[in-house]
Chain A
Amino acid sequence: MKLKINLYIAVAFLGLSLSSCSDNFVQEDPAFVIDSESFFNSESDFQEALIGSYDLLQATYVNVMIGEIASDNTLAGGESAVDVPGFQEVDDMTHTPVNQQLRDLWNWMYAGINRTNFIMEFKDKVDFPNKNQILAQNRFLRAYYYFELVKFFGDVPLSEDKRIQFGQETSIDRAPVSEVYNLIERDLRFAADNLPYTQAQKGRITKGAALALLGKVLLFQNKFGEASTVLEEVINDGPYDLVTDYNSIFESVGENNIESVFEIQYSDLEGAGFGCLQCSEGNVAVGFNGIRNYSGPLFDSGFSFNVPTQEAFDAYDPADIRRDVAILDINTWADQTGATFVEGFEHTGFYNRKYIARQGDLNTGDANLTNPNNYRSIRFADVLLMAAEAFSRSGSGDVKARLYLNRVRQRAGLSDISLSGSSLTQAIWDERRLELMGEGQRFFDLVRTGEAASKIPGFVAGKHELFPIPSIEIELAGNRWTQNPGY
């Protein structure tokens, strides 16, 4: 009898264990996670995804650095000849399809594009009154990222309103530049049509930003007539003006001022590490540009990259108040203040003063990666000079061109220019260099104006206008794409 009871118990516990656990046990959905395919159910979902689209703006610090290092404005610098070889090679025009910084740039811009397309893919899922405002910001961001890609690489894989999913990368071709520009223009016109000139939050994209970027995009395509119209709309209808004190623009007090048309916002509130530079909320370029092992007033230390050349310094009229704002003569500064520093590689005695680390931030670790200096992506001065150029090159607008050019010159403490024709165009180009020194625009200005070969040592016409697509990216996409010429 007792044996039987024991047997029953034994059979019961085994049977229970064998039957209760089926494969369903391993197929339960995990707790507290959101599936990406079941999102976008409300306006707040769209708003949250839009933050994701904005996030990659901060990663464009590398675009800005390369735009400067590749030009005649600065040398790569750093600690030694092998410190960030990707920058060194770009500086020397010896860059090849193997370049980590160019690959980062490529990957980060596509990360941004995929995030904007994530929203676009689900844009019709629900309706709410404010949706076009969200889509307008989102489409501006997509245009911004594609414009960066087209500037650096020319023809690039294009996807509109659909993420490129894992597995699809081997069936997508490089789209011609014209197609990419077509999408960029459509996106920016949509953004301009659906955004206000002023947003409640600083850092949000505005109508002025969309129009100004559109003007720039048109200028890059030599569509001078269209560009002049769009840019003049910003000048006439926008709430922008030049700041009187040029120096104040690049200090923390000058952030999001009246001259700021589009500004990429950075913060020192969150830590960052070298493992994920694109994750930093700080301006990584500022730490990289900073003075090597600096100890003294006003500035903070950095890695001594992106150092201005003597020629760039000498390009300024000594009366030009912009020179000492744009370029720090470190030896003079050290003599004046008793500051100390260490000479890095390719030490020129100059630093890119607009974007080197300042004291007074939180120095959240790693302090070199979390500088809060905003990047002034489009300043009103840039808009004026672009408008001047568009009018000048459209062949019929020298008066307006001189008007806008001289507005910029007057603020710099310089006398008016009365040139016309191609000499006026050249003067505008030269002014762009001086006004926008250190702001990452120089290389692309030289390329689009055809001046690069004559100004940049080692620049080979027909090759260096575009950067090479990282060879590993070509391979990973199934070797469908031909490399840019010359590489």
Chain B
Amino acid sequence: MKKNVLLILVLLFGGLTAHSQNGRVTGNVIAVTGGTPLPGVNIVVKNTTNGTNSDFDGNFILDNVKQGDVLVFSYLGFKTIEVTVSSNIINVQLEDDTQALSEVVVIGYGTQAKKEVTGAVNLVSAETIAALKPLRFEDALQGQSTGVQIIPSSGSPGSPLNIRIRGISSNGNNRPLIVVDGNITEDALTNLNPSDIESITTLKDASAAIYGTRAANGVILITTKTGKKNTAATFAVNSYVAFQETPRKLPVLNATEYALLINEARTNAGQTPLFNDVSAFGKGTDFQDKVFETAPVFNQDISVSGGGEKSTYSLGAGYLSQDGIVARDKSNFDRFTSRLSFTTELSKYFTFNTSLFYTNTKRKTINESGLGSVLFNALNMSPLLPVRDVNGDFTLAEGLGNEVINPLAQIANTFNESNTNKINGTAGLKFKLDDHWSAETRLGFNYSLAKAKFFSPIAFFGSGKVFNNSRSSVTEIKDDFNDYTWDAFVNYKNTFFEDHNVEVTVGTTVFKNHGDFFNATGFDVPNNSYKFADLSLTNNNLADENFGNGQFEERLVSYFGRFQYNYSSKYLFSFSLRRDASSNFGPNESVAYFPSGSIGWVVTEESFLEDNDIVNFLKLRGSFGVLGNDRIVANTFRSLLSGEATAVFDDQLINGKAVGRIPNPNIRWEEQDQLNIGFDLTLLKNFEITTDFFRKTTRDLLLEAPVSGIIGSSAPGSAPPFINAGSVRNRGVEFSVNYKTKLTKDLKLTVGGNFTALENEVLSVNNDVGFVTGGNFGVGQEAPSRMEAGKPLGYFFGLKTDGIFQNQQEVDAHATQPNARPGEIRFVDTNQDGVINNNDRTDIGSPIPDVTFNFNLSLDYKNFDFSASAFGQAGNEIVRNFERNQPLTNKNRSFLNRWTGPGTSNSQPLVTTGATSSTLFSDFFVEDGDFLRIQTIQLGYTIPKSITQKAKINNLRLYAQVNNLYTFTDYSGFDPSISSGAPIGGGIDPGFFPTPRSYIFGINLNF
């Protein structure tokens, strides 16, 4: 106690001494427009390191200031001002730097003032991410960027989302290059905690060409949070809890309706009805009700950041736990993340920076998105069957075909678990000689160890079911991935004759990834129980068939240079060239050059538009460049003995060696040229408009094209060679507008909207048949999707329907159609040869939307804030592929409107258990995929500072939010936003696990 008093006295005295010697300055910083207080403004005494930051209300206190000192006030997005100290109280107003648009954009191996950017670039800020509450970083891009489409592959916890920038430009890999703090990250980004992100920049056009052979799908640059110099430690805590439910259940027949339709279907096939009295069946079992449940999400993040004179730091940790709305015990996702970011000035010339991440993810999955998946079974299961029989055992799904089983029995017998540990980060050294010369080198790395375990218990689901298992087994998988990226580059910038600004960057980058994988299966798990499902307890016959291993490696060496010039920030010019050498191509084709150039004109810098109140800012831009895509399977130019050779002698499997994939020594990268013309416009200070027109053509598409079978490509473990044999063009327009205003003193409004219109066309497929097929429909039917010149990539190829045969005369008058009878679907004889067969298949839809659009709205009133966002798409089709069409499987309620006699229906065919052609792939199964989704609605309340500051809390905000509130659509499946993401075969819905609707309650706390 005594000690403390002494300490206080010393501090007090010391403080007074300081005050008396040099003086304390206090004050307040606000924005000129709106007069809102500006927190975090950097205030330093010029030419010293003495400085501070304004607090949440814009107030600041700075000691050791003498009369005559000059204080420098700087803040991002505002003009820096200098004030000479003449009194103890200095109040400052900072002017918006709209004219300079000093926002800085990360552009790859450097940054650039947004004003001078000549490429098509999108930016998503930490504030946007905070408002959206995305579970994954991809969600943060959803609806925020023109030209960027986020397509979930499922709504199940932890399932990947596909990012598509400006359409699908390859039949192969369409994933953009993702760079986190300069570190190229090729594997899934499930591990990145969105709240660690400072900004996401998307390079959509030829400005990505600085990334050369990896840039054709666009580049996403993620910057994570760092601390600020000379700030005290600031803590931020964000927590929320959410409840999720299915946004939709599909209308299927209840027990009575089902029994009636089964009887009718049997009668129509000349069989006797199965049920004599249907009246007692009632509604029966609703299997969707049984499998869908309400499931929680918990999220907790904490971070601290700050900095001293020379160093800054930021540390954070987060935990997310999400259960699935189907089988929450068997389908869930846990993520623990932690990160450290540290920057320090080693000397006048050198700055060291590093960021490190450790993440652990755990995921459990159920059978989803396919024939025989849990939801597929819930839709097709007979409503007459209870979940459990009189003995309490799961009901066997007898008579429902080989794939449809009791979905609850399926869940109970599902044990899939994976666990991934990942460490990644960067370390870099910056050298700054003077205002002109600087250099930077950095090493980025990713390491991950993924483990998975699958247990298949002995299980019986009914006669002949493909899921029956008479011998239990457990499979364990361990994969490890390593990659590193090493960049080194030199930057020179200077201004000549006052207005000629030049910047040159030259550098090199080296990338290598490698990894190996190992898996083994053991049999006869003790007690048929997951508790004992481990290889150490099983009968391990480590013959080749129960054991696998392998490794991969890819290397890339690149040199790049960029020259930027502008005249007085008015006329802008940029040129870049990259040379890549990749291990994915043969020695003759391993080197590629990727040039790009762009120009810009800031019209508002011209005297005739200067000081004009209507057009505040106008920049015209154009860019053109060549980009590449090298993501193909490695070593395809070599003929390797990687095929499968297994024969049976003496009842044992004997393994040998055989040729794997047929090599193509002349394989080369995909090459894309992209033209972009656009403008950025600010009108009346509050309207910001950006428009871009683009055209990108990808050539030399890497196809695993069908090749003649006589070269042996169908051998086990072999595959057709990759060939460069196609081209695709995407053309489109992007438009976005944002409007910001202050309606009253307390009411602020921001409204934004954007759309992207896109036309995708395959220009050529130069294999000998002129098309490539893909996808699956029904059972044993031909592939429904195609890539073919003149059509969108992956368009649907099937029969066209022309109503329903109403009577025998119509059947007789029509072309010869298998199984034709009144009530059957009438197919169009497209080739008019008098016969309906495979040759009548034609274009019946496209999975690629013509337009995608987004809307955002936010309102701030005093301590309340409200935001809402919506997104949607139009012009695409979805194939309904979740009906099994077995004699006893359940059906959609649309069959209540079936054809039952002349004139009863011209769209829904009769039901029959007999031979029918109505199940052939046709436009009967193709539906409009248009939708508009209300993605978020959020209402927040910030506790007044007068209250919170008593508890030393800077900011305390409570909020409630609904995600995926409602989807307006005519589509009859669970979720029109989901697709497998396959370029050929996407847009086919086998009963996708829907994106849940979630109700979120959360708290943000800063102190």
Give chain A's interface residues, CB within 8 Å of chain B.
Answer: 2-3, 6-7, 9-10, 13-14, 17-18, 21-23, 25-28, 30-37, 39, 45, 47-52, 54-58, 79-85, 98, 100, 103-104, 106-108, 110-115, 118, 157, 163-166, 168-170, 172, 201-204, 265-267, 269-271, 276, 278-279, 281, 290-295, 301-303, 340-342, 345, 362-368, 470, 472-473, 475-479
Contacts and interface: CB of A to CB of B under 8 A. Distances in A.
B721 interface: yes
B651 interface: yes
Nearest to A341: B463
Nearest to B580: A26
Contact of A27 (B543, B587, B643, B644): B587
Nearest to A104: B714
Interface in B374-429: 398-399, 401-402, 429
Contact of A271 (B545, B591, B706, B711): B545
A363 B402 contact: no
B944 interface: no
Best-surrounded residue of A14, A47, A98, A163 (most CB of chain B within 10 A):
A14
Given A33-B635, A203-B648, A279 B716 contact: yes
Top 4 A-B pairs, shortest CB-CB distance: A51-B656, A301-B464, A114-B712, A107-B709
A115 B659 contact: yes
B713 interface: yes
A48 B657 contact: yes
A22 to B, nearest CB: 7
Contacts of A111: 709, 712-716, 718
Nearest to A365: B469
A166 B439 contact: no
B644 A267 contact: no
A258 to B, nearest CB: 17
Contacts of A84: 780
A108 B708 contact: no
B17 interface: no
B540 to A, nearest CB: 13
B196 to A, nearest CB: 29
A51 B645 contact: yes
A162 to B, nearest CB: 12
Given A23-B581, A265-B648, A267-B651, A114 B915 contact: no
Given A23-B590, A52-B643, A169 B441 contact: no
Contacts of A114: 659, 710-712, 715
B656 A50 contact: yes
A271 B644 CA distance: 14
Best-surrounded residue of B664, B706, B768 (most CB of chain A within 10 A):
B768
Interface stretch (B21-29, B548-556, B612-620, B669-677): B548-556
Nearest to A296: B463
Contacts of B581: 23, 25-26
Contact of B714 (A98, A107, A204): A107
Contacts of A17: 441, 486, 488, 508, 510
Nearest to A280: B716
29 contacts: A14-B488, A27-B583, A34-B641, A39-B657, A52-B657, A55-B644, A55-B646, A55-B647, A81-B915, A82-B778, A83-B780, A85-B780, A98-B838, A108-B715, A115-B659, A115-B715, A118-B658, A163-B711, A265-B651, A269-B543, A342-B464, A362-B470, A365-B469, A367-B466, A368-B466, A476-B767, A476-B769, A477-B710, A479-B768
Interface in B164-203: none
Contacts of B832: none
Chain B contact surface mostly: loop
B646 A367 contact: no
Interface residues of B, number: 100
B431 interface: yes
B716 A79 contact: no
Given A39-B641, A110-B712, A164-B711, A48 B656 contact: yes
Contacts of A21: 508, 510, 557
B463 A10 contact: no
A169 B658 contact: no
A23 B441 contact: no
Nearest to B651: A267
B780 A49 contact: no
B126 interface: no
Nearest to B654: A51
B83 interface: no
B70 interface: no
Contacts of B81: none
A115 B915 contact: no
Interface string B230-268: 000000000000000000000000000000000000000
B6 interface: no
Contact of B710 (A2, A45, A169, A367): A169
Nearest to A106: B709
B349 interface: yes
Best-surrounded residue of A26, A364, A475 (most CB of chain B within 10 A):
A26
Given A164-B710, A476-B769, A35 B915 contact: no
Contacts of A81: 818-819, 915-917
Interface in B677-712: 706-712
B113 interface: no
A80 B707 CA distance: 31
A33 B642 contact: yes
Nearest to B643: A52
B469 A172 contact: no
Contacts of A28: 555, 583
A49 B553 contact: no
B488 A18 contact: yes
Contacts of A204: 649
B714 to A, nearest CB: 4
A112 B714 CA distance: 9
A281 to B, nearest CB: 6
B397 to A, nearest CB: 10
B639 A37 contact: yes
Given A21-B557, A98-B838, A368-B466, A47 B648 contact: no
Contacts of B486: 17
Contacts of A48: 645, 655-657
A203 to B, nearest CB: 4
Contacts of A37: 639
Contacts of B635: 30, 33
A53 to B, nearest CB: 8
Contact of B768 (A276, A303, A478): A478
Interface string B745-758: 00000000000000
Contacts of A100: 782
Contact of A26 (B582, B663, B781): B582
Given A23-B581, A164-B712, 13 more contacts: A26-B583, A49-B645, A51-B654, A107-B709, A113-B712, A115-B712, A169-B707, A266-B648, A281-B653, A362-B471, A366-B466, A367-B469, A473-B709
B63 to A, nearest CB: 32
A364 B916 CA distance: 34
A293 B645 contact: no
B644 A279 contact: yes
B628 to A, nearest CB: 14
Contacts of A27: 583, 587, 590
A82 B919 contact: yes
B638 A35 contact: yes
Given A49-B645, A103-B709, A270 B653 contact: yes
B648 to A, nearest CB: 4
A52 B645 CA distance: 4
B640 A33 contact: yes
Nearest to A255: B651
Contacts of A291: 464
Contact of B463 (A85, A163, A269, A294): A294
Contacts of A172: 710
B402 A26 contact: no
A113 B712 CA distance: 8
Nearest to A103: B709
A85 B464 CA distance: 22
